[in-house]
Structure 1
Amino acid sequence: MLASEQIMAFRRDGYLVVEDLISPAVRHAVVAEYTDLMDRLYAEWRQRGQVPELAPDATFWDKLDAAVQAKIEWYQPFDISLPADGITAETPMHFGPAVFDMITSDRILNTVECLIGSEITSNPIQHVRIKPPERDVQHGETRAHIVSTDWHQDRAVTLEAADETEMVTVWLAITDATVENGCLQVKPGRTTGMIPHCALTQLGIREKFLPKQDAVPAPVKAGGGVIFHPLTPHASLRNLSNEYRWSFDLRYNVTGQNTGRDHFPDFVARSRTNPSAELRDWQVWKDMWEATRADIAQSKHINQHGRWSADGPYCA
């Protein structure tokens, strides 16, 4: 739960750093789940000759480092969403019990309830971000889930139908997020109106619309998070450390309001008025995403960022 002073700070600044948003047990379960996933993936990559053989006691980070150095497509199998385009029936993704328990953890939902009320839907605009040291990133890589993220507002990545939706983002640190390894930075107090975005290497805000002075870094310890309003401008710093930085960004909206990506599945995470509506089974969640993947693979492409372009007047 948030104290009244924290709620006031969120309303004023548009963001809030909260420690211990998940318990160590929840975080360790997520790490263990991803370690098992990495073991399976690495065995497949090794069988295809894409990565080198490692020592039997190689860790998750050893294997990830080898995959990054081998310049293979390692990211998408870890993500808790589908990509913006190119979706096929075989597009990899990850939906497991530990991640589901994280998304539906009481600590997170209690915090979100203080900000948007007790009828809470888990929004499908969600991602894992595992960011290598910048020096190790493959030349030409621009995905915001891997490299530093350009300045943007989260509402800009939704479809226009969600412009009135009450929503918050929970940016959750699995490893410590520091200034050196690329924590978030925000522009406090800017929560009214959409700023023009430009679809260049990433969807972002040109500096003429958002001067970078007065940006505030938001470091947070593992297990903590940064919660922000969908109109709060934010970005990430560059990872200039020697370590990976691991986080999730999760979103929650008031149940019954548009998610901004209604071709992806959502679910009721909490309902005080109708608890039986809450989804409690991670396998159902996984099945929903697999059915969505199958449908989209046979459908016309939906442009998730259709309101923005690379040649609009705001890109000049």
Structure 2
Amino acid sequence: MSLTMEQVIFFQTNGYLIAENVWTEDDLRPVIEEIERFVDERAQRFHREGRIANLYPDEPFERRFALLYEQCPEINRKFDIMHLLGPAMFRFLTDKKLLDIAECLLGSELSCNPIQHLRSKMPWKGEGEQAVSMDNVPWHQDAAVTSVESEASEIITFWLPLIDATKQTGCMEIIPHAFKGGYLRHQAEGGTTIVKELLPELPRITAECRKGGVVIMNKYTPHRGTSNRSDSVRWSLDLRYHKTGAPSGRDFHPSFVARSRSNPDSVLTDYEQWRRMWTDALAKPAQKAHRV
């Protein structure tokens, strides 16, 4: 699927775009089934260790992880792409529909950016808005988690919900047009967030997006998470792509060529090589990933 000219213009004008009905249930099933296997493997291990009592084996994808998390929040620790390193996820990183959309915005020489996440936003039953966390991030720009050396790099975020992302399940809020002001200074208090006095006073939109769709954002577009008020886990993928040859913004983690019209042989298709790249990178001492 390619974007229409109207969609490209909308993205370039507003700094974001919501494209619906890109992927079918069959398209997403391999990734979801792989996540389910990882959930079950971790649940079985925690059960053997006596850290959870009930495995809830018959609960659906949208609900099971929340019930396990209630028994032991530790089950969600490092439950992310770079730590799970599943073959279905690797294949999805070069999904044709995804790269067709990315090519409309970045051109035909595409690299998969190493800043990529699997998000599992848990239900929140407390009063008011959920506290700032990795699940409920404050107002920020994605550029804030990239190096200063990548300032000239065009890095675009592709955020894909694996269940419907609505006001109820916890979607994003976005400030359109604000990307035109470039990078805004961030601070580390309460999570990496835009300095309050610098947050643009522009109208905000609620970026609801159904499963099978994608929210695309410029790296300077301010956005934040909202609380998940449902009984389900709001699963999503946070993927990014940049032009091959440009700094990735996180050079101590591996990026790779995902599409190349000029040199197709440069595209990484070897899952084991990708896995080794990440394993080797994570074995080294951790480096600062955010600008603040």
Which TM class, normalised by the smaller chain length?
over 0.9
Report how far residue 212 of structure 1 moved: 5.8
1:285 to 1:141, Cα distance in 2 relative to 1, 3 A? farther
- 1:131-210 matches, within 5 Å, as 131-135=121-125, 142-144=132-134, 146=135, 148-192=136-180, 193-210=182-199
Report how far residue 53 of structure 1 moved: 3.0
Read off the aligned partner of 1:131 and give its amino acid letter: K
- For the Cα contact (< 8 Å) 1:42–1:63, is it kept in 2? no
Structure 1 counterpart of 2:261: 272
Give unpaired runs (5+ residues) of structure 2.
none
> In the aligned structure 2, how far is the partner of 1:22 from the partner of 1:236?
23
RMSD: 1.9
1:220 to 1:62, Cα distance in 2 relative to 1, 3 A? closer
Report how far residue 20 of structure 1 moved: 2.8
> In the aligned structure 2, how far is the partner of 1:23 from the partner of 1:302?
38
The answer to whether residue 287 in structure 2 is matched with residue 302 in structure 1 is: yes
Larger deviation, residues 227-236 vs 58-67: 58-67
Structure 2 counterpart of 1:25: 26
- 1:88-103 matches, within 5 Å, as 93-103=83-93
Q: Secondary structure at the match of 1:268?
A: strand
> In the aligned structure 2, how far is the partner of 1:125 from the partner of 1:267?
12
Structure 2 counterpart of 1:108: 98
> In the aligned structure 1, how far is the partner of 2:92 from the partner of 2:222?
25
- For the Cα contact (< 8 Å) 2:142–2:219, is it kept in 1? yes
Structure 2 counterpart of 1:125: 115
Structure 2 counterpart of 1:87: none
Question: What is the CA deviation profile of residues 213-269 of structure 1, one whole-angstrom value per residue up to 9, with x for unaligned ones?
Answer: 511011111011100111111112221222221111000000000001000011100
Q: Secondary structure at the match of 2:215?
A: strand
Read off the aligned partner of 2:9 and give its amino acid letter: M
- For the Cα contact (< 8 Å) 2:66–2:123, is it kept in 1? no
Larger deviation, residues 54-63 vs 13-22: 54-63
1:228 to 1:52, Cα distance in 2 relative to 1, 3 A? same
Report how far residue 160 of structure 1 moved: 0.7
Percent of aligned pairs with the same amino acid:
35
Structure 2 counterpart of 1:74: 75
Q: Secondary structure at the match of 2:81?
A: coil
- For the Cα contact (< 8 Å) 2:54–2:68, is it kept in 1? no
Q: Secondary structure at the match of 1:43?
A: helix
Structure 2 counterpart of 1:47: 48
> In the aligned structure 1, how far is the partner of 2:12 from the partner of 2:56?
51
> In the aligned structure 2, how far is the partner of 1:53 from the partner of 1:190?
47
Report how far residue 74 of structure 1 moved: 1.9
Report how far residue 43 of structure 1 moved: 0.7
Q: Secondary structure at the match of 1:152?
A: coil
> In the aligned structure 2, how far is the partner of 1:66 from the partner of 1:6?
39
Q: Secondary structure at the match of 1:280?
A: coil
Query: What is the number of residues matched between the two proteins?
Result: 288
1:44 to 1:152, Cα distance in 2 relative to 1, 3 A? same
Larger deviation, residues 221-230 vs 62-71: 62-71
1:62 to 1:220, Cα distance in 2 relative to 1, 3 A? closer
- For the Cα contact (< 8 Å) 2:164–2:211, is it kept in 1? yes
> In the aligned structure 2, how far is the partner of 1:272 from the partner of 1:14?
26
Structure 2 counterpart of 1:312: none
> In the aligned structure 1, how far is the partner of 2:146 from the partner of 2:47?
38
Read off the aligned partner of 2:34 and give its amino acid letter: E
> In the aligned structure 2, how far is the partner of 1:54 from the partner of 1:61?
15
1:62 to 1:245, Cα distance in 2 relative to 1, 3 A? closer
> In the aligned structure 2, how far is the partner of 1:134 from the partner of 1:246?
14
- For the Cα contact (< 8 Å) 1:22–1:102, is it kept in 2? no
Report how far residue 65 of structure 1 moved: 2.5
Report how far residue 58 of structure 1 moved: 4.3
> In the aligned structure 2, how far is the partner of 1:12 from the partner of 1:157?
23
